[in-house]
Amino acid sequence: MTRRIILAGGGHAHLAVLADWAQRPFPETERWLVTSTRQTAYSGMLPGWLAGIYPAGELLIDLEPLARQAGARLILSDVTGLDAAARQLTLASGETLAFDLLSLATGGEIDTATFAALGDRLLPVRPVGAFMARWTHFLTAIAGSDAPRVVVVGGGAAGVELALAVATALARQFRQPQVALVTVERGFLAGHASAVRQRALAELAGRGVALHYGEAVGTRHGVLLTNGTGLAADCVIAATGSRAPRWLAASGLACNDQGFVAVGADLRSISHDAIFAAGDIINRADRPLERSGVHAVKAGPVLAANLRAAARAAPLKAYQPRGRTLYLLATGDRRAIGSWGGLMAAGRWVWWIKDWIDRHFVGRYTRPGEGGR
């Protein structure tokens, strides 16, 4: 009996699943990929793109050839609903799709509710493709300006990298750009060693990025912080971390209290055997696991193996992350800060490693012959 397997979202983990399907036959299955856009962006290279180091083509992965090689039917649409018990997905078009097995890797969303007053001045960093288009438009719109003002909200690795990249990019083009980073103090590179935070503070200061501690809300002219400070801005980049997609709430899937899909170490929903998930959309029920591209990528091969195993009711594997994860933060000037447990390293050689890892990863899916896929 042919079983229908649907991958929802072109997220990092699904790249490995598509590669697995392309490599080995998967008999008695009908395979689908449903995702919002044909190209998926590799966010690790986004700061490098902003800083002018990479052209857009270097970080965009075209899902069409990957789906074709995997024998998967590609549907370009947003998933807007899921009925886990009835095994049915709803798409933005209103169409419904039945499945025997489903895997979710649609990532997280940026919560923009507190920034609504900004209107067009708000640039959420996700979806990354839309962010890239709007940033390009913003640069054109401010071309005649002397002193454009950009505020980045979010003190995680992404916010810090984006602030440094924006400062680098604007300094090249404008006389007196003003770049600020706003974060709650405890959220500034939380989970990283003090040496990493100190190094990042020095980089921000060296690049003229003003750091403000506090919670920000959007106003018509910029942001207002909890301490009363107002920051005028031509553009506010929201890099405030992932929120669970809203459509999950009515799905019937077991989720944690923030709405992320609860999965076990085998990446299977703890409530519905036919549903798997990986990347930023999950919450591991068996252990804490931070949301990062590293884990989304590394979970991919396990997810691929488990979808095959589930199709024939065989035992599943576990995704067990290593104790420490290496994070490489780009500083916008072909240098990077490396963070591994309590250790910190920084400099050009750290950037070379990051650049090699990132290009190699994207190359596996854009130039399969060269990347060893």
Ligand X SMILES: Cc1cc2nc3c(=O)[nH]c(=O)nc-3n(C[C@H](O)[C@H](O)[C@H](O)COP(=O)(O)OP(=O)(O)OC[C@H]3O[C@@H](n4cnc5c(N)ncnc54)[C@H](O)[C@@H]3O)c2cc1C
**Which is it for strands 261-263 and 282-284: parallel, antiparallel or unpaired?**
parallel
Judged by CB under 6 A, the number of residues near ligand X is: 35
By the rule CB under 6 A, 331 interacts with ligand X: no
Rounded to a whole number of angstroms, the minimum distance from the CB of residue 360 to ligand X is 14
Rounded to a whole number of angstroms, the minimum distance from the CB of residue 46 to ligand X is 4
Among 60, 70, 74, 158, binds ligand X (CB under 6 A): 158
Q: Which is nearer to ligand X, 148 or 293 (CB)?
A: 293
Find out whether 177 and 147 touch, Cβ atoms under 8 Å: yes
How many C-alpha atoms does 174 have within 13 Å on its Cβ side?
Answer: 20
By the rule CB under 6 A, 299 interacts with ligand X: no
Q: Which is nearer to ligand X, 26 or 32 (CB)?
A: 32
Among 48, 155, 279, 338, binds ligand X (CB under 6 A): 279
In whole angstroms, what is the distance from residue 144 CA to residue 166 CA?
17
Q: Which is nearer to ligand X, 10 or 218 (CB)?
A: 10
Please give the angle made by the CA atoms of 215, 329 and 182, to the nearest 5 degrees: 15
Q: Which is nearer to ligand X, 221 or 364 (CB)?
A: 364
| Cα-based distances in Å from 23 to 18, 20, 250 | 9, 5, 36
| Cα-based distances in Å from 98 to 90, 192, 251, 254 | 9, 43, 14, 20
In whole angstroms, what is the distance from residue 184 CA to residue 371 CA?
40
Among 5, 6, 7, 11, binds ligand X (CB under 6 A): 11
Side chain identity at residue 68, one-letter code: R
Q: Which is nearer to ligand X, 44 or 148 (CB)?
A: 44
Angle between helices 12-23 and 348-366 in degrees, nearest 10: 50
Find out whether 297 and 325 touch, Cβ atoms under 8 Å: no
**Binders of ligand X among 14-53, rule CB under 6 A?**
34-37, 40, 43-44, 46-47
Q: Which is nearer to ligand X, 158 or 346 (CB)?
A: 158
By the rule CB under 6 A, 269 interacts with ligand X: no
Rounded to a whole number of angstroms, the minimum distance from the CB of residue 107 to ligand X is 2
SS3 for 195? helix
**Binders of ligand X among 104-133, rule CB under 6 A?**
105-107, 125, 127
User: Which residue intervals of the chain are DSSP H helices?
Assistant: 12-23, 46-50, 63-69, 128-141, 157-173, 194-206, 293-311, 348-366, 368-371
Rounded to a whole number of angstroms, the minimum distance from the CB of residue 348 to ligand X is 17
Q: Which is nearer to ligand X, 175 or 246 (CB)?
A: 246
Q: Which is nearer to ligand X, 266 or 280 (CB)?
A: 280
Among 280, 344, 351, 361, binds ligand X (CB under 6 A): 280
- Residue ranges binding ligand X (CB under 6 A): 8-13, 34-37, 40, 43-44, 46-47, 78-79, 105-107, 125, 127, 158, 161-162, 239, 245, 279-281, 291-294, 296
